[in-house]
Each structure stands twice: as structure tokens, then as C-alpha cells.
Structure 1
């Protein structure tokens, strides 16, 4: 494995400015590229969708490039990338690790790095305030790559907003030709986004995509899988061969919707996707196990007692006696009912209970560290199990790795 290092002497490299037009040829997994003063900011929702919601959580989540990667073909043995990350600091909470960039050469891990510098957002959860401080551009360097033509991928941090400035190499770069792999479009919550994963290639969707041999577009949006119509329209308008939606945990912990509205909202979300993808395999995934919300509704809140001890944790605060409120068990029942009813007219619609990916035995072995999000080991388990159930024979996405 090649690790990044810093040059001690000057050297000549070819600079590829990452303008919106140039980056479009090299970036995968982004739905929009916003030109900036320095370069380009990848977005996972298009501008029209972003304009329809002023929620700061959504805007932070969709600008964090989970699943977004630079992909090019080159003989380069040295690769440098200038980026402007935006790092988050939570008042009273343990420091967050810097975002991780992962390098793949011909699909194999070849290096990891983090960018220094960058902007900083300091967030006070007690009063909801946020202070923004600008910072300098940071640089990454990967050296010692094997000579010869090869596919190079740089996966951007899944949990750190990343503005791309410039790419430098010691040989020309060109876009990777279309290999004919099918495109998997996935939408979900912070778990799909990759919260607490070890890096961008080991979020559970990234792992599952690698095992399934497909190209990933990850619309996992932390705190924002809320059946928003603009997200459904973005999925409708995005080219995809395979589609999945993981629905549930955000509906509970945001306490945004009552049972009466949930069913019609699910139908509307699926209808909109089907407007653009009438026959694509569409897999509806119910929530994984989360004990605090199995039978207790939201809203979910920070456990400030745990934070005072230096730990980030969450608690459920809803009334379990209120039958109009959503819990994870209620949502699983509704999703199973809805998909069964719709499947009578939609033979390419499938359902997966998320507890097949992470259930009671998994919680006993790999508990959720903050009561809400799986850790790195659980991400790997979820990704492997999803691949087994979706891409293997009999699964919703079986025999679909290459476009016909």
C-alpha cells in the first residue's frame, strides 16, 4: 500500500485545473458541480433540489461527498490533489477526526490521506449556533504508484465537505472509458451516508457496490432521508439501472410525520421514482435494528449527560403510548404492506427487512456506539449482507453487474 508523503525538492508535474467542465469528465457519484472561486464543489443533490429546502442539516449532508470519487486513467506514479475541506467542531464533544481520502489503483487500495487546513465550522448543539472560519487550501500527495497505464480513483471524504482545486500528476490523465457496469442509485439516512465508517470506500453502500461490481451513486443524506419530494425527483432524473431506498430511522428520530401521512408519502416517493425508471429493479429497505427507537418514537435528542463524559450518544424522547407516532416497528409493518400491495402491479419492486442486515444478534456483538449509528465493523457486515441479498442469485439486483 502506498502512503502519501511530502516532497523535499521541487519537481515538474502536470496540473489539471478542476473547473466544473473539466471535473465533470473525471468525477463520479456527484449530481451537480458548483463552480467556486478556487475550483469546484461537488453536490449530491442538484441545485433545483437544494433551492427547495433551507434546512442546514440537509445542505451540510448533501455537500459531503459520500461515494464521490475522482476517476482517471494515467501512467502517473505521483498524484497530488489540492482541496479545501470544511471541518466541523462540536462544542463540548470529542474532536472529530479529519476526513479521509482513499486511493485505489485498478480497484485495489493504494493509499490513505487527510487534508490539512480548510474551513472550520464550530457548532454549539446547546443553542444551535454555528461559527464559520475560513482557512487555507490543503494538499495531498500519493507517490510510488506502479508505472504503466492504470485506473486511478481518489474517493473523497464521505463526511467532510470538500471543494476541489487542482489535480497534479507526473503523466497526463484521461477519463476512464465506460466499462459497461450498471449504475446503482441508493438513498438513505446517515447510516447510508457512512456515519462512523472507517473511510469512504468502507461505508456499507461503497462496500456493497464493490462486491456487486456496480457503479455507486450514494444519496445517503445524514438526518435527511425524510421522503422529500425534491429527493425523489432527483432520483427520477438520474440515470440508473438499479435503485434502492432505505426508509425509516430519520422519519422516527426527526418526529417529522405521523402515521396518517407516512403511507401516502411513501407511495408518492415511489411513484415519482417510477416516473423516470418504470421497470428498473427497485428495492425498498426497512430500518436496521435500533433499540432506542424500535417501540419508542422520536424526537431523538443528544444525550448531554454522556457528552459531559466526553461521549456522543442519543436518546429517544417520544411517548411510546402515542399510536399515531412512528416507531421502527410501525415503519417496517407499513413498508412491508405497501410493497406487497404495489408488487401486484410492479414485478420489479422488492422489499428487504433491515434487520436481515443488522439485527438483535449483531447488536449484541457489535452494539451501536452512540445508540444510533453502526461502527466500522458493522458497516462492513451490513455491506456484505446487502451484497449477498441484493446481488446474489435470487436477489433484487441479481445478474445485473453489466449493462445489456
Structure 2
């Protein structure tokens, strides 16, 4: 039986608003909460895991709050959230769109907004250098909400590091109890992180979670789905009723390992997950279609031809002949993942495999091509969310509520 709503002690604020302390009890989708000079910073990897890798790409990705949301119950008609964002920009390219905050009321999208100010991380793609330019705290404000008790969710931008400074409302806030829905823990690349989705609640994992009526913990880490042991241990230690791992594209586009290393690394990752979740439904998903890397190894290299027009695209910089030496392509990875899962499933009936091309394949590419040749756009995220929900949460799927 679920616990009753817990009131949060408010602090009187200006203009009749009350300020509610932002604590872990108000957050979903974060594995850690770091106190900063301005407030708190949600992390999607715990501190001990972050300490095991000094890679700047991983540090940026895990601190971007994809799938992280403030969740509470209130009858407030006005909600204000002060945040300090860090937005990424690229030298020579037009400014990227502002990150979006989605407001959901009783599970339905009721508003969208963004903040101004904040820091800017200026990246020079030609040299690999980056510089942070500081800026002020901004406020996202939602008004005109229905004057009745309601469940409120504020989904944070998936592509902006977001320090949470203050939450203000014109009525008291109560925490919502955990355990009302099953928890789905997912790990993948930038495509799972959000890539070019329209907003944080419309990334394909968020859409699939909504359709499957589950709580999402999204460990989609842009550029960092690399079979890292610390990620596997973080997932092992995270409570979850359902688990999926989407493996492949980052290993190719970073040219990180050969087939000889890939196979035992996959086994090791799955072994670690099973240490903490021995019988949890576990779905291994291979890469979606990406024509530049289907049969051509990585690395992926930026194509600056259209950068001045705001279009950064990618090309495959490997040589197809290098497959003979063990270099990975998406087709090589799909074949090996299917073989590994089939082998393990003989002793693990809760382990399942899905071909990523069932989420986005050749017909989809003809209809909705990848704008930068690597990442899906907003319409493709919606298609993938619908497809995954049917594949995983449907009547014959591994995540059906009846279990397997």
C-alpha cells in the first residue's frame, strides 16, 4: 500500500510565495544530488562512479538531467523554479535552441518554458577546446494552473546542465510516495539521452515510459554508452523492476574496442547487472539503423561543410576492410549481441534481445532520415517511443505487467 503524501516544510517568500527546499525526495530520475554554491545539481551517476573516469564528455552527459524531474502534489496555481543552466555552444555555428522545461499536471503536458541567463560552454570543434562563460540565475515560471490538488512534474532540459536554486509556489507542496509504478532503468547513448527530441518528456525513453505507465530512470549518456564497469555497477545498485541496455553506436563512433574485447565486455556488463538484479526482466537492444556505420567502422568524424548554416553532420572515417582485423561496425555488433543473448538466455529466461532496427530501420530512414547522419529528430523520437512501448510493454513483450 502506498504511503500518504508527505508535506514539505515551506519557507515564506516574496509576493505571497513559499519556497520549498529542493531535496532528493522531490526528484525522480537522479542517482545523486550534489550541493553547489547556488543550490543542488542532479547527477545521473553516483559520485564514486564519476570519480573513476575523468572524461569530459561523460562528465557533461551524466550531469545533463535527461529524464530528471521534480515531482510533487500541490494545489498551487503558480510555480516558479530558479535554475542556473550551462548551455553548450559551438564556435562558428548559430546558437543552439534553449533547453525546454516541460510541466505535466496529472500526467498530461500543461506547459513549456525555458530560462534565460546561465553559463555558456563554448566548444571549438576544430581544436577540441572548451571555455565556460559565466552568467546569472534564471527563472522558469508556470501560472494559471488549476486551483485543485494535483500531481505536478517539472521535467528538466535533457541537454543543459541544470543547477536547481529555488522552488516557489503559492500553495504548500507535498512529496509523492515512491512505489506507485514499476521502475524502468535504461542505459544507452545520446539517442537515449535525447539527441534532438523536441523536449525532455518527448525523448523516446520518456514517451515509452509514459505509454508503459512506468517510472523512468534514464542513464542514456551522450557519447558514453561504452560498457563502462562503473555504469554497470551503478545500475546493479539502483532499484529497478525492468532494465534495458542499448549497446553499440558509441563503441563504433569512438572506435573504442575490437571484437575480441567487445564480447567479454558485454558478458561482464551483463554479469554485473545480474549481481544486483538476478531475475529482473533485462532487455538488450542493438543499434538502430545508421547507414554511415552499418558496414563501415568508426571513428565518426565531424563534417563541417554545413556548420555555418547551423548543420553539424558526421561521416564514417574508418575503412570497411578493417572489419577483418576485428574493427566493429553496427552489423557486426548486432550479430554478436544476438549470439551472446541467445547463449546466456539458455540459463537466464528473463534475458531478452531486440534488434534496434525494429525501432528505426531502412523504411524509417527513407521517411525520416537522420539530420546529422547519427541522431534522430523529434518526429523519430516519437516513432521510436511508440515502437519500444509496443515491443517491450505490449502483450507479448518482456516488460508486460504480467511478467515472464
1:379 is aligned to 381
Listed one character per residue, the Cα deviations across residues 137-187 of structure 1 (whole Å, up to 9, x for unaligned) are 000110000011110000000111000000000000010123521000000
- Alpha-carbon shift at residue 84 of structure 1 (Å): 0.3
Secondary structure of the structure 2 residue equivalent to 1:11: helix
State the distance in 1 between where 2:121 and 2:31 align. 24
1:343 is aligned to 345
The TM-score with structure 1 as length reference comes to 0.95
State the distance in 2 between where 1:37 and 1:119 align. 14
1:329 alignment partner, one of 314, 331, 335? 331
2:81 is aligned to 81
Listed as ranges, the matches of 1:96-115 within 5 Å are 96-115=96-115
Does the alignment pair 1:209 with 2:212? Answer: no
Change (3 A) 1:113 1:400: farther
1:6 is aligned to none
State the distance in 2 between where 1:179 and 1:265 align. 33
Does the alignment pair 1:158 with 2:158? Answer: yes
2:7 is aligned to none
State the distance in 1 between where 2:266 and 2:393 align. 24
Secondary structure of the structure 2 residue equivalent to 1:33: strand
2:18 alignment partner, one of 14, 18, 30? 14
1:395 is aligned to 397
Query: May I ask how many residue pairs the two structures share in their alignment?
Result: 388
State the distance in 2 between where 1:339 and 1:14 align. 52
2:6 is aligned to none
State the distance in 1 between where 2:367 and 2:93 align. 26
2:370 is aligned to 368
State the Cα RMSD in Å. 1.0
The range that moved more, 150-159 or 301-310, is 301-310
Does the Cα contact within 8 Å between 1:391 and 1:400 map onto a contact in 2? no
2:275 is aligned to 275
The TM-score with structure 2 as length reference comes to 0.95
Secondary structure of the structure 1 residue equivalent to 2:320: coil
State the distance in 2 between where 1:270 and 1:353 align. 17
Secondary structure of the structure 2 residue equivalent to 1:209: helix
State the distance in 1 between where 2:266 and 2:92 align. 38
Secondary structure of the structure 2 residue equivalent to 1:165: strand
Structure 1 gap ranges (5+): 1-9
Listed as ranges, the matches of 1:2-401 within 5 Å are 11-18=15-22, 23-178=23-178, 180-323=180-323, 324-399=326-401
State the distance in 2 between where 1:308 and 1:69 align. 34
Q: Which runs of 4+ in 1 moved over 2 A?
A: 177-180
Structure 2 gap ranges (5+): 1-13
Does the Cα contact within 8 Å between 2:99 and 2:157 map onto a contact in 1? yes
- Alpha-carbon shift at residue 305 of structure 1 (Å): 1.8
Does the Cα contact within 8 Å between 1:295 and 1:328 map onto a contact in 2? yes
- Alpha-carbon shift at residue 310 of structure 1 (Å): 3.5
Secondary structure of the structure 2 residue equivalent to 1:322: helix
Secondary structure of the structure 1 residue equivalent to 2:224: coil
